[in-house]
Chains A and B, each alone.
Chain A
Amino acid sequence: MKQHIANHIYHVEILPPKQDSEKLDADLQTFAEKYQRVLDSDYCICLTDNAMGHLSFQGTEMIQELGLPVKPEQVMIHLNTFHTKANLDEILHACIEKGIRDLLVVTGDGSDRLPKLHPADIGAAGVESVTSVELLRYIGQAHPGAFNLGVAFNPYEPEEHEFTKLDRKIAAGAMFIITQPVIARNAVVDKLLATCPLPVALEAWMSKKLHLLSQAVGYEIPENTVFDPIETLRLLHRTYPQCGMYLSLLGFKTQYHLLTDTWVS
C-alpha cells in the first residue's frame, strides 16, 4: 500500500458478476474489459467478495476462468468470513499461485445462501463467531509472509468501538487500512492518521447515488446536495495527501478518463 500511495496508484473496485445475472456472458465481457483497462493504466484492481451478501462469482475464479493476466502489485482480493474452510484455502492457494499478495480481510455480509466459517475451522478458540480478526490471524499462521493484509475502518461507527476493533485487527496482523467512503475532512479520519502508523487508503465514492452513500456512511445526506465525485476526489487528495484512494462505483465510461490529472500533490 505504501508503494501505491507513493506512486499515485489508484485502487479501483470492480464487482464480479452476480450468480443470478440474466446476461452472464455480457457481464463477463464487461468485467474482463474493466479489468484489463485498470491493469493497463497501472492502477490496482480490487475484487469484492460477495459484496452485500449477494451471491457472486469469486475474484480468483474470474481470473482463472477468463484467463486474465495478473501483475502481482496490481491485484487485490477482498476475503470475508462467509466461506467454507475448504473454499477459503482454495482461494488462498489460488492467490499464492498467481502471485496475488494484497488481501483486504473483512468480516463481510452473509445471506442465507452463503456458508460461514466456524471458529473451530480456523483454530479460533473462545469466540462465538468468526470476524475479520480471527480470519487475519488464520491467514497469517497458515501462510506466513505470503500476503499484505488490509482491514476496513468505519469512521461513522462509534469511535471508541471502532478504534478498539482496529487495535485487535492490528494485533492479529493488519498491515494497511481502507476506510468507508469519505467525502470531506473527517475528524475521526484525522485521529486515525495521527495515531496509527499503518498506510491508509480512503474510499472515494464515485457515484452520484446519494441514498446508497447515505447507507454506507450511516447518516442521511440530503438529496439535493450537489455532489460531484471528481471534485470530491480532488478535495480528498488536497486534504489527505498522505492517503491512497480506493475508488468505488467508478464510472468507466464517464469518469475513468478524468483520473489522469486528479492525483496531484
Chain B
Amino acid sequence: MRIVVCIKQVPATHDASIDPETKRIVREGVKAILNPFDTYAVEEGVLLRERLGGEVVVLSMGPPKAEAVLREAVSQGADRAVLLSHRAFGGSDTWATSYALACAIRTLGGADLVICGKQAVDGDTAQVGPGIAAHLGWPQATHVMQIRSANPGSIVAVRMHEDGYDVCELSLPVVITVVKDINQPRIPTLRSSLASRKINIPVWTPDMIAADTARIGLDGSPTRVVKTEPPPPRQNASCRIEGPPAVCAAALVRELRIRNLV
C-alpha cells in the first residue's frame, strides 16, 4: 500500500507579542515548523502502514528550507520524502498548489491513500486536501476523526460534523483530511532523528512532474491577494478594574448589567 502524506512548513507564531500602543499583534522573525495538523496526518499514515504494510511517502511544496519538516516526518516514521521546489511554484494559491501536488502524486506512480491535515495554520483555508481529490478525480473524506477499519481496497472513516458525525466506507484510492486528536503522534527517537538527517530528499521541479506551467505559480492561481492591511482596532475604549475581590466583581456585574448581558 502506498500512502502519500502532504505536509506544509508554516511560521510558528508563539513568539508574537502585542504592540501596546496599536494593540496589534507583532509578528517577529518567527521560526518555521511543521503544520500542527500535519503531524496527525503523518502519524495516521504510519499507523496504517504498520497495520497493512507498504510505504509512507511525505510530500511538500515549498522553498528549500521546507526540507526540514520532511525530515521531521521521516523521523516520525515516514519511509521517504519528496520536496517540490522551484521558483515557478512561487505565488501559488490553493488551486495551483493542489494541482502541483496532484501531479507529483501521479509522478510517484499513484497512491492508495492521500492524507492531509485539515488545514494549514497560516493560510487556514482547508482547501488543498479536497483540491487534490478533485484534480485526481478521487473521492474524498474531510474532517476525519477516526479510521475505523482499513484493508487494501477500502477504508471506513468517521467524519466530524458540527452536529455529530457520520461513518462512510470509501473505495481506495481516496483523499482524506484529518483533525487533531485522531491519534497521538509518536515522539521521534534520537535514533530516528539522526537517521532522518541522513536520508536523501529529491527535489522535484515542474518539468519533472509534467506540470502545465500555465497552471502553477502565480499564473496558475485564479485568486490573487491585492491588498493586505492591519485589522481595524477594537472599537471599545478599554476599562480596568482593580481592588478587593468583592469590589471587582461588583464593578464587572455593573458593566454587564449596563450592556444587558446579565
Contact = CB atoms under 8 A, between A and B. Distances in A.
Is A in direct contact with B (CB under 8 Å) within the complex?
A: yes
Interface of A: 19-20, 24, 55, 57-58, 61-62, 65, 84, 87, 112-115
B185 interface: yes
B185 A62 contact: no
A113 B39 contact: yes
B234 interface: no
B193 A19 contact: yes
A29 to B, nearest CB: 13
B206 interface: no
Contact of A62 (B33, B36, B72, B190): B190
Contacts of A87: 187
25 contacts: A19-B75, A19-B187, A19-B188, A19-B193, A20-B31, A20-B33, A24-B193, A24-B194, A24-B197, A55-B187, A57-B190, A57-B193, A58-B190, A61-B189, A61-B190, A62-B190, A65-B190, A65-B191, A84-B184, A87-B187, A113-B39, A113-B185, A113-B187, A114-B187, A115-B187
A65 B75 CA distance: 15
Interface of B: 31, 33, 36, 39, 72, 75, 184-185, 187-191, 193-194, 197
Contacts of A24: 193-194, 197
Contacts of B197: 24
A123 B184 CA distance: 20
Contacts, number: 28
Nearest to B33: A20
Contacts of A84: 184
A84 B189 CA distance: 14
B184 A115 contact: yes
Output the residue of A20, A61, A112, A114 with the most chain B CB within 10 A.
A20
Given A24-B194, A65-B191, A113-B187, 8 more contacts: A19-B75, A55-B187, A57-B190, A57-B193, A61-B189, A62-B190, A87-B187, A115-B187
Nearest to B180: A112
A115 B197 CA distance: 24
A112 B187 contact: no
A24 to B, nearest CB: 7
A55 B75 CA distance: 13
A24 B68 CA distance: 13
B114 to A, nearest CB: 24
Contacts of A112: 36
